[in-house]
Structure 1
Amino acid sequence: MDNFILLAELLKDYNLWGNSAYQYLIAGVVFLISLLVLKLFEKIIAARFSKVVEKTDNQFDDVISEVINSIGGFFYFATSAFIAFQWLETSLYVSRAVNIIFIVIAAREVINGFGRLINFAFEKYLERLEKRNESIDVQQVRTIKKMLRKTIIVILWLIVGTFILANFGINITSLVTGLGIGGIAVGFALQNILGDIFSSVSIFFDKPFKVGDVIQVGEDVGRVKNIGIKSTRLKLVRGEELVIPNKELTSFRIQNYSKANKMRDEVTIGVSYETDEETLKQIPEMIEGIIGNIEGISLDRCNFENYGDSSINFKIIYFADSFDFSLLDKKKEELNYAIFSKFQEKDIDLPFPTRTVFLHQSE
């Protein structure tokens, strides 16, 4: 015991960079003990926790286990060195530098953990959609996930940077104020782009429509081809592609025909004013019979609509079982041919625009 005390006194007499050899010895022992404790945590506690969560049905604890197991040996080494460093006397600048290095290393592990939690949240979201048998745009999901993950990572690193600057004794109040003013200026400059991006996120989570749905925006009707970060693409009935900014899609009313499981269409026909009343009353029944013989469409109603300039008009509203526009056009063509044939059979005239001119001859 006396020899140990004598050795300790001798070590105290040797100084290097403001610390005695005895202090370095204590710091070394603290480093080894800290590293041993952390390694025991990794090998025993973390390993046992992983085995326990494998037996549970809850997937969230699997993610926690994955986050714990992903902590690298370098982090344990850096943590042990940081704890040991507290036993040494150093200058203020060296102490701040060590603190900053440790903050960066620890922040890296925390941010990586948040990234894994984001991945887990999106995987659960995809599973929920699959259980509902909803179609999934995998590319859109990946894009939104990547965007949110990068946004959160940038925000977290900005917070870490703020702590680092504060640790150096820099007054961050004026800096934050300047960044806020700059952020407002950038926000005004990019408000249209940012509006489209946020609208894309809103469409993704709210799901007013999805890829493959037939929607109407204003007077344009088309099938959703792609939902991007800035815009959505529709393939219109006429065949061309329409690109709509996402901000407009969240600002205006949208009719989603796919939610009804059927496509609505209508036809207006006119008959001559010379048609008698009895025949006019039989036209809705004729139309019902005609549509009943055409596969894939069903009649909603047929009504005497109005008196036109040259004809008595009937409106026919029907539903098609398919959202294929080319097939819908073929069904309409088949309906028009059948109506024409039926009217010829019943001697019902289909008028054309006429104008009667009265001439007055002066005496």
Structure 2
Amino acid sequence: MLDLSQKWLGNTLEEWAYALALALSINVILGLIKWVIITRGAKLAARTSSNVDDALIEIAKRTKQFLILGVTLMIGTRYLELSDQIDKTLITVATVSGFLQLGLWLNGGLSFWIETYRSKNSEGAAATSLGAVYFIGKILLWAIVSMLMLDNLGVDVTALVAGLGVGGIAVALALQNILGDLFASLSIVIDKPFVIGDTILVDTYFGTVEHVGLKTTRLRSVTGEQIIVSNSDLLKTRIRNYKRMEERRMLFTFGVTYQTPAEQLRKIPAMVQEMVESVPSARFNRAHFRGFGDSSLDFEVVYWMTEPDYAVGLGVQQDINLALFTRFEEEGIEFAYPTQTLFVQPQSSEPLHVKMAAAKGDAA
């Protein structure tokens, strides 16, 4: 029969048994809480739209029972009389285990946030930038956890922090352009001034976004070549995003001859309005007799395309032009073109009128 009154390392076996039972009991209770959160919580999370419960489940999955045991052993032995060496060893084990578990929980939270954001942004640019952010975030996280752990273990981390600070400044100076582009890429992913597939104008460069990388963004121009722009330079300039137009404003002008009667001039805006409104995807705005040109009476027409696609707009403009040409032909209204009228005074009392068409390409 085992005598529990025997002493080992300054305490009876019974006291050691109670201490171990306490440590294991706390470990088992925490393990049961983990199991409930993962199993029961998953069913609850499936019925809710909140991300809090999903984050809690992901963090709980990162719980390691052997690390929890390292902490609970110290808790269980607080009531025992131990030598300084053993007590220091248990405190060290508990400190290392506690900070490692804390790091795993924080890393789980960071991973959940990255994956949640990535699932909402499936384009390649988001995956690339968020992957880089996750990598940098993990390095910073474990660096902070490690220094806090060493500080709690009694290690003087002042010199280490100072050395890391100086080294970080040196690295940042050497890589400032790369880091600037990296953070610009992250800004593009989060702020979303454009996404892959958008057609944008950057300064004088016009094209469709093909790829947003860690350092550069690549556009495909309308003439076929690829335009590569630094991310940091991209955010320093004004960007026009044509893909996000809800409607496209269309404006065109035309002129009729000076021989057009005033009554027909008054009818032209209503004719144009009727033709624009008969075309699908077009919303009439205005049509006015704008002014007197050198060889024409000028009209200006503005309408809105409810479909902002440029190719669709050109098709609609073509339909309006053909309808306008047909209607004017029926009404006997002539389109103006650059002409010059010369009045020649002959010897007789009656003037001779000569009308000359200007050569193609000549100014009016």
The residue that corresponds to 1:114 in the other structure is: 106
- Shift of residue 157 of structure 1? 1.4
- Shift of residue 67 of structure 1? 2.3
1:38 and 1:141 map into 2 onto residues whose CA distance is 42
Deviations 1:40-65 (A, max 9, x none): 21344444555664457465245324
Which residue, 301, 305, 314 being the options, matches 1:320? 305
Q: Which amino acid aligns with 2:235?
A: T
- Shift of residue 261 of structure 1? 2.0
2:232 and 2:185 map into 1 onto residues whose CA distance is 8
Deviations 1:82-105 (A, max 9, x none): 66898454399x959x83x65554
The residue that corresponds to 1:350 in the other structure is: 337
2:30 and 2:193 map into 1 onto residues whose CA distance is 47
1:153 and 1:26 map into 2 onto residues whose CA distance is 44
Deviations 1:160-217 (A, max 9, x none): 3323554676654344334334333433333333333323333333334444444444
Change (3 A) 1:219 1:322: farther
Change (3 A) 1:268 1:84: same
Preserved CA contact (<8 Å) 2:290 2:298 = yes
Deviations 1:299-345 (A, max 9, x none): 33334556666655544333323344433333334444444555555
Q: Which amino acid aligns with 2:238?
A: R
Preserved CA contact (<8 Å) 1:119 1:145 = no
Change (3 A) 1:319 1:50: same
Change (3 A) 1:176 1:76: closer
Which residue, 171, 191, 197 being the options, matches 1:206? 191
Preserved CA contact (<8 Å) 2:58 2:112 = no
What fraction of aligned residue pairs are identical, expressed as a percent?
A: 28
- Shift of residue 231 of structure 1? 3.8
1:207 and 1:271 map into 2 onto residues whose CA distance is 47
Structure 2 residue ranges without an equivalent (≥5) = 339-359
1:33 partnered with 2:18: no
Change (3 A) 1:63 1:292: closer
Change (3 A) 1:234 1:83: same
- Shift of residue 257 of structure 1? 4.3
1:312 and 1:41 map into 2 onto residues whose CA distance is 91
Q: Which amino acid aligns with 2:178?
A: I
1:163 partnered with 2:158: no
1:61 and 1:147 map into 2 onto residues whose CA distance is 26
1:146 partnered with 2:138: no
Task: Please give the TM-score of this superposition, normalised by the length of structure 2.
Answer: 0.68
The residue that corresponds to 2:342 in the other structure is: none
Preserved CA contact (<8 Å) 1:27 1:85 = no
Residue 90 of structure 1 aligns to a residue whose secondary structure is helix
Change (3 A) 1:69 1:355: closer
Change (3 A) 1:120 1:151: same
Change (3 A) 1:341 1:209: same
Change (3 A) 1:307 1:33: farther
Which residue, 44, 49, 63 being the options, matches 1:71? 63
- Shift of residue 113 of structure 1? 2.0
Preserved CA contact (<8 Å) 1:224 1:235 = yes
- Shift of residue 243 of structure 1? 3.8
1:153 and 1:196 map into 2 onto residues whose CA distance is 20
Preserved CA contact (<8 Å) 2:27 2:72 = no
Residue 85 of structure 2 aligns to a residue whose secondary structure is coil
Change (3 A) 1:188 1:336: farther
Preserved CA contact (<8 Å) 2:198 2:243 = yes
Deviations 1:138-177 (A, max 9, x none): 4444444433333332112111332355467665434433
Which residue, 85, 90, 96 being the options, matches 1:90? 85
More helix by share: 1
CA RMSD of aligned residues (A): 4.3
- Shift of residue 273 of structure 1? 6.0
1:236 and 1:280 map into 2 onto residues whose CA distance is 43
